[in-house]
Structure 1
Amino acid sequence: MGAENQCPALGEGTLVTRLQPSAAHAIATYTPQLAAERWQRIRLFVRDAVAVIAPACAWLAERLMVVVAGHVDWVANVCEYPLQAAVVFHPVMIRRYISRDDVERSDKTRRDYRSLLLRVSEVVVPTADPLEFSALNGQSVTMPYTDLELTLLESWARGQANAQRRRSASVLLALSAGAGLDAWEVQHLQHSDVCVTSSGIVIDVDGATPRQSVVNQRWEQLLLDGLRGLSGDRLVFGAADRETTFNIVTKFIRHTDRGNEPNPMPKGMRATWIAGHLAAQTPADLLMRAAGTTKAAHLAASLVHVPDLHTAVHRRRLLAEARGQSTR
């Protein structure tokens, strides 16, 4: 095998010295929004990976660092795989990262990330077999669950082997499918953010898009069962002493007891909540406020899952409501 086909060794931080000064400086001074110990563990590995791809990529080194650091952090620190090039940049791992359902990314962003990470893979894992990737385009919308699938997911939540898993699975399903929270919001929610009233359960959602969302009646009892025994500032998801510096929902799901139920995906649960409100013709501006989104096009795209409303007339109505032009 020629030297040009050999996998470069990553993790020593020496490859950066081969770059132009401006790129080398951008890589050396980049600081991600990660806990210091997590960044310290992957820092040299990430720098070498970016140094490998930077000369053959039109992206700025700063942007490359953002993408590569996020991927490596997820593989090594979140999923706890070994920090080895053949593992971190294997096409299977890249496909898993790009297909994550616990983060919101546009299709263009996913395509860009995928292209970049696969280019790194070609260089550092030249012997890996190529994989078929699903198409990513502006028409792709996460599929909501059917009623039967939701029933199976409730059985999954209630059937976990211990109380803590049952609680976490229950609140995840109830908050995502019942109130439209995403995975990050679920894992950061405190018991004090849940207000039980005579007319329903209201969730005070903090974070980037503070808002309130009312839990659908179907999921009230599951949520109440999951919250039993909690109080005050106790986090509703996971162990009381866990850290909240990164998303633990995917890891939790991977380690739950599984049967024949569909794959529990928070993004699919949230899509189910959105589709349910669209079917009920909840005014778009109210739905967007509860969902924490500002893009009416996302709601309009979800009409494909509500056959009776998947028409140009209803699309125009929804967009008009989103602009506050409803006559209600």
Structure 2
Amino acid sequence: MQEFTRSIATEMRAKSEDHARNYMSAVAGLTIWTVNIACLPLERSSVLSGHNIDAYIRRGVKDLSPVTLRNLRSRLLRVSAELVDYNPRRRDAGKKSRYENFVPYAPKELTRFRNQGSTRSTAVRRHNWMTLLALGAGCGLNTTEIVLLPTSAVQSTGDGVRVTVAGKRPRMVVCLAAWEEDLRQLVSSPHAEHFLFSKAERPTYPNAYVTRFLSTVANDGAAFQVERLRSTWIVNHIDAGTPVFALMHALGVKSLSTLERLEQYAAAPGDDVLTAAFRGARS
């Protein structure tokens, strides 16, 4: 692998003004991950493919900021463009990553958003702000599901609050205990007559509408992103040890890709926990 990496860095030095060492470091990490983790052959067509580079950035790089990740990805794609005829218009070129859209929120950030909710300019804005926050961070719903959720879909019982999601991914979601009281108050609000998210008519494009709503209502403050609230909910469940397939069902997904992109944000269990789990599995 060392010779493979050195040859790429040497060729790039002749093609680019960047120092060869910059490429050496970037390609070395990609190469090691490709061979040892992804189990792909040590060939340029495999190592430097757009799909492989994106997979490496998503799952193989830890503890880097979103800006650093974007720079690393750009550098690797530049190598691919020069050495393996990378074509950005090809379907396998890899899509532009949106890492910042999936980073979970810290507890103090959620607290700040809660506090912001009580200071919005109108009662309806306060209600809708908290509806997005409670259903995103408390139930893991996406924007469209929140906007289209009937008030009757939220049921409160003695053992918690359950949300029944219809549409393309029908399922039942149990709300996190920390958000139960918020949902109970929202359901009893006069603004939640038919739908929990209050609006005379359902918007044709829910995502665009909610983005504009949050930008306007934030009033130059920090607005949250529903997708990041959903990520926060997912990571909370991963850290709590919620069974993977039960979590996938609650999310309405059929593949592990949604969980894989959040692996770097989940708490790593200790060796003793892992040992006990693997030893205790029923044979």
Normalised to the residue count of structure 1, the TM-score between the two structures is: 0.50
Q: Residue 215 of structure 1 corresponds to which residue in structure 2? A: 175
Q: Unpaired segments of 5 or more residues in structure 2?
A: 1-87, 90-94
Residue pair 2:104, 2:229 contacting (<8 A) in 1 also: yes
Q: Residue 41 of structure 2 corresponds to which residue in structure 1? A: none
Q: Distance in 1 between matches of 2:194 and 2:260?
A: 37
Regions of 4+ moved over 4 Å? 137-141, 230-233
Following TM superposition, by how much is the alpha carbon of 1:300 offset from its aligned partner in structure 2, in angstroms?
2.9
CA RMSD of aligned residues (A): 3.1
Q: Distance in 2 between matches of 1:273 and 1:218?
A: 11
Following TM superposition, by how much is the alpha carbon of 1:327 offset from its aligned partner in structure 2, in angstroms?
5.3
Q: Residue 245 of structure 1 corresponds to which residue in structure 2? A: 204
Following TM superposition, by how much is the alpha carbon of 1:199 offset from its aligned partner in structure 2, in angstroms?
0.5
Q: Residue 305 of structure 1 corresponds to which residue in structure 2? A: 265
Following TM superposition, by how much is the alpha carbon of 1:301 offset from its aligned partner in structure 2, in angstroms?
2.9
Q: Residue 160 of structure 2 corresponds to which residue in structure 1? A: 200
Deviations 1:72-122 (A, max 9, x none): xxxxxxxxxxxxxxxxxxxxxxxxxxxxxxxxxxxxxxxxxxx77xxxxxx
| Percent identity between the two aligned chains | 27
What is the number of residues matched between the two proteins? 184
Following TM superposition, by how much is the alpha carbon of 1:295 offset from its aligned partner in structure 2, in angstroms?
1.1
The reply to whether residue 287 of structure 1 matches residue 247 of structure 2 is: yes
Task: Identify if the C-alpha distance between structure 1 residues 139 and 235 changes in structure 2 by more than 3 Å, giving closer, same or farther.
Answer: closer
Normalised to the residue count of structure 2, the TM-score between the two structures is: 0.58
Deviations 1:136-169 (A, max 9, x none): 3498871000000000011122221111011101
Q: Residue 58 of structure 2 corresponds to which residue in structure 1? A: none
Task: Identify if the C-alpha distance between structure 1 residues 284 and 138 changes in structure 2 by more than 3 Å, giving closer, same or farther.
Answer: farther
Q: Distance in 2 between matches of 1:141 and 1:251?
A: 16
Residue pair 2:156, 2:184 contacting (<8 A) in 1 also: no
Q: Distance in 2 between matches of 1:292 and 1:153?
A: 26
Task: Identify if the C-alpha distance between structure 1 residues 242 and 233 changes in structure 2 by more than 3 Å, giving closer, same or farther.
Answer: same
Q: Unpaired segments of 5 or more residues in structure 1?
A: 1-114, 117-134, 321-325
Deviations 1:202-239 (A, max 9, x none): 00001110001011111112222222235997011132
Q: Distance in 2 between matches of 1:250 and 1:140?
A: 15
Mapping for residues 256-295 of structure 1, pairs under 5 Å:
256-258=217-219, 260=221, 262-295=222-255
Residue pair 1:178, 1:216 contacting (<8 A) in 2 also: yes
Following TM superposition, by how much is the alpha carbon of 1:245 offset from its aligned partner in structure 2, in angstroms?
2.1
The reply to whether residue 255 of structure 1 matches residue 203 of structure 2 is: no
Task: Identify if the C-alpha distance between structure 1 residues 139 and 158 changes in structure 2 by more than 3 Å, giving closer, same or farther.
Answer: closer
Mapping for residues 110-121 of structure 1, pairs under 5 Å:
none
Q: Residue 153 of structure 1 corresponds to which residue in structure 2? A: 113
Following TM superposition, by how much is the alpha carbon of 1:244 offset from its aligned partner in structure 2, in angstroms?
3.3
Mapping for residues 79-228 of structure 1, pairs under 5 Å:
136-137=96-97, 142-228=102-188
